[in-house]
Amino acid sequence: MSLFAAGRFPAYRPRRLRQSPVLRALVQETQLDPAHLVLPLFVRSGRKLRRPIGAMPGVCQLSPDELVKEAAQAAEAGVPAVLLFGIPDRKDAKASGAYARNGIVQQAVRLLKQELPGLLVITDVCLCEYMDHGHCGLVRREARGARILNDPTLKLLARTAASHAEAGADVVAPSDMMDGRVRAIRQELDRLGFSETPIMSYAAKFASAFYGPFREAAESAPRFGDRRSYQMDAANAAEALREVALDIEEGADIVMVKPALAYLDIIHRVKTRFGYPTAAYAVSAEHAMIKAAAAQGWIDEQAVTLESLLAMRRAGADILITYAATDVARWLRRK
């Protein structure tokens, strides 16, 4: 029986605590602060390059020099971290650009750490942007179709993560959803002397329709088939908890749920069950839908964005990865 049903709080009237902004702030249960934000950025080779992404208003592919400017603006607004995705000049069947010592992400990491040493640099560890077929792992062609090769892919993922750490990445974030990749990366990092480099695992990454604009941004759409054989079924929650448990057992330091807003129940269950630092990724279509509706005058972009991120925090997310991070930090400063 609840305390209210038992008559223990007969005089309680919730509206009393909503009468002014000061009162509401005093009793607010969930806080949204720039310290929670991570800004995803897309980098490609060149100079003075800002290539707009049509499906993601306000987001561009950036050359390294422009990337530094964008990251500096974010840091000045109060955003403490960025998440890097690379677009190589050349793709091949072994994703060699992903782990090349002078690959585009490796160049960007070194430049960011030189120019903005206080900025936390997280690198996405995946192969899809670097593969000529667009999948996240090595592929074997068979009579019945193509098959993603899990275990051989692990070596390339570990090599990629190590090359990012060597370039100066503060955190590596495997997003491929191959089984065993966190263990493979942790072992390789430790072997090479990067035992202090944390892993933020895309632990529960769903095969989602919300990724559409990202594939334009990262130029990573699969040339055949789809990613349902390795990304999670949107219908499965218990499986998500098993995925997270496996990644924690293998050495993940932070776990992520992706997408965010349509998966608040997963975020809550992950945080409640494991208590680990939990990231939520507000993905490309979440950003695009808000931008499109705001452009039509149908919604208040600032209010809807902040409410969406607050919902992720309320569900249990400690870290909010959002393309609106710089704007959000500025909005929060003005509040």
Instruction: Output the pLDDT for position 134.
Output: 81
User: Phi, psi at residue 73, to the nearest 5°?
Assistant: -65, -40
d(CA 49, CA 45): 8
The DSSP H or E segment spanning 41 is: strand 37-44
Which H or E run includes 289? helix 284-295
Q: How far is 80 from 82, CA to CA, in rounded Å?
A: 7
d(CA 240, CA 303): 30
How far is Cα 305 from Cα 295, in angstroms, rounded to an integer?
A: 14
- Consecutive 10-residue runs of the chain (335 residues): their mean pLDDT? 58 86 90 97 96 94 98 98 96 95 97 98 95 88 78 97 98 96 98 98 95 81 78 95 98 98 98 98 96 98 98 98 98 90
The residues annotated as belonging to the active site are: 205, 258
What is the structure's pLDDT at 136?
87
Give domain limits for the chain.
Answer: 31-334
Tell me if 107 sits within 8 A of 86, measured CB to CB: no
pLDDT digits (tens, 9 = 90+) for 146-164: 788 999 999 999 999 999 9
How many separate helices (H) and strands (E) can be counted in the chain? Answer: 12, 12
* Distance from C-alpha of 108 to C-alpha of 98, rounded to nearest angstrom: 13
Residue 220 pLDDT? 76
The contacts of residue 77 (CB under 8 Å, 6+ apart) are 34, 326, 329, 330, 333
* Fold held by 31-334: TIM Barrel (3.20.20)
What is the C-alpha to C-alpha distance for residues 175 and 269, in angstroms, rounded to an integer? 20
